[in-house]
């Protein structure tokens, strides 16, 4: 079984550098099976969120696994509909209840909208009370992150953002790492867009090491000091994604990967007002 390296967050908590995500697996039985298989394959970081609507399934898989609780690093996220102080307190407790856990290892603000400061205050309190071992954010740009850092007593430990070969976010990664905030990549495979799994430049590197394009991408992220949470519901792909710690890309190969950057999100622009209103507007209206 592959042993995944641990990285130390800025509050001293240790976190696996590679984990398993359950985004877009709303079917509870499928999600439970996927997490069960992931834990059996050797994953010890499981990433879910309130918005994924599968926290219960993640919790059941963890409880049935027979693995000691302290050996599994569990992440969930608060959705914007709970971004006030009072709602966030209830949202944290709701996540714990759905997961069936006494504590979460990491809890994130899922988006940089709504009453971020109020929600963060509630998370700080839960952190100090031992309900959460570490708190962070997701999808925050550098200025939004700096605003939170300067305003609130507890510094985020993680910023979970989109990072993949087509959208490398070099400046954002550099800023976060300079602030001692761990970057965690979601959508590392860009959901297969632009034929990422057959791209010739990546495939040439992969062939050299007897690896797949996906493994090269994960290795490239790990070598950038990024934590990554690939998702798959297929056991063979889960195992393949874990097997990226027995080779290392050369400086030239890292430059080849860097040359693939299209500098465009493969999903949506978090700063486009129309997109914000379309995707998050209904949740934000609940807070008015």
Q: At a CB cut-off of 8 Å and minimum separation 6, what does 110 contact? A: 49, 50, 51, 77, 78, 79, 80, 138, 139
| Strand ranges for the chain from DSSP E | 6-8, 14-16, 20-21, 45-47, 73-78, 106-109, 135-138, 158-162, 182-186, 227-228
Give the closest residue to 91 by CA, choosing from 53, 122, 54: 122
d(CA 228, CA 183): 8
Angle at alpha carbon of residue 9, lines to 6 and 14, rounded to 5° = 35
The number of helix segments (H) and strand segments (E) in the chain equals 11, 10
Backbone angles phi, psi at 59, to 5 degrees: -60, -45
d(CA 266, CA 287): 29
Dihedral sign, Cα of residue 30, residue 31, residue 36, residue 37: positive
d(CA 126, CA 13): 16
Q: At a CB cut-off of 8 Å and minimum separation 6, what does 120 contact? A: 109, 135, 148, 152, 154
> In this structure, are residues 74 and 89 in contact, taking their beta carbons and an 8 Å threshold?
no
Catalytic residues: 52
């Amino acid at each position: 079984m592959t042993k995944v390296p641990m990285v130390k967050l800025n509050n001293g908590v240790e976190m696996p550098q590679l984990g398993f995500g359950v985004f877009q697996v709303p079917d509870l039985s499928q999600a439970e099976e996927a997490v069960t298989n992931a834990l059996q394959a050797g994953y010890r970081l499981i990433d879910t969120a309130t918005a994924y609507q599968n926290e219960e399934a993640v919790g059941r898989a963890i409880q049935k696994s027979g693995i000691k609780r302290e050996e599994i690093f569990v992440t969930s996220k608060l959705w914007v509909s709970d971004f006030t102080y009072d709602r966030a307190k209830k949202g944290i407790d709701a996540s714990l209840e759905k997961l069936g856990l006494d504590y979460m290892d990491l809890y994130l603000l899922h988006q940089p909208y709504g009453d971020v400061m109020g929600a963060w205050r509630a998370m700080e309190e839960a952190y100090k009370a031992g309900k959460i071992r570490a708190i962070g954010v997701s999808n925050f740009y550098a200025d939004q992150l700096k605003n939170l850092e300067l305003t609130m007593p507890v510094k985020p430990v993680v910023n979970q953002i989109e990072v993949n070969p087509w959208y490398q976010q070099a400046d954002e990664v550099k800023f976060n790492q300079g602030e001692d905030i761990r970057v965690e990549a979601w959508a590392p495979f860009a959901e297969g867009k632009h034929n990422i799994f057959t791209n010739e430049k990546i495939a040439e590197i992969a062939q050299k090491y007897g690896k797949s394009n996906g493994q090269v991408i994960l290795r490239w992220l790990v070598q950038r000091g990024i934590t990554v949470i690939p998702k798959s519901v297929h056991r063979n792909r889960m195992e393949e994604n874990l097997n990226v710690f027995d080779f290392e890309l050369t400086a030239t190969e890292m430059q080849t990967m860097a040359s693939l950057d299209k500098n465009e999100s493969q999903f949506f622009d978090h700063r486009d007002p129309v997109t914000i209103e379309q995707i998050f507007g209904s949740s934000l209206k609940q807070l008015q």
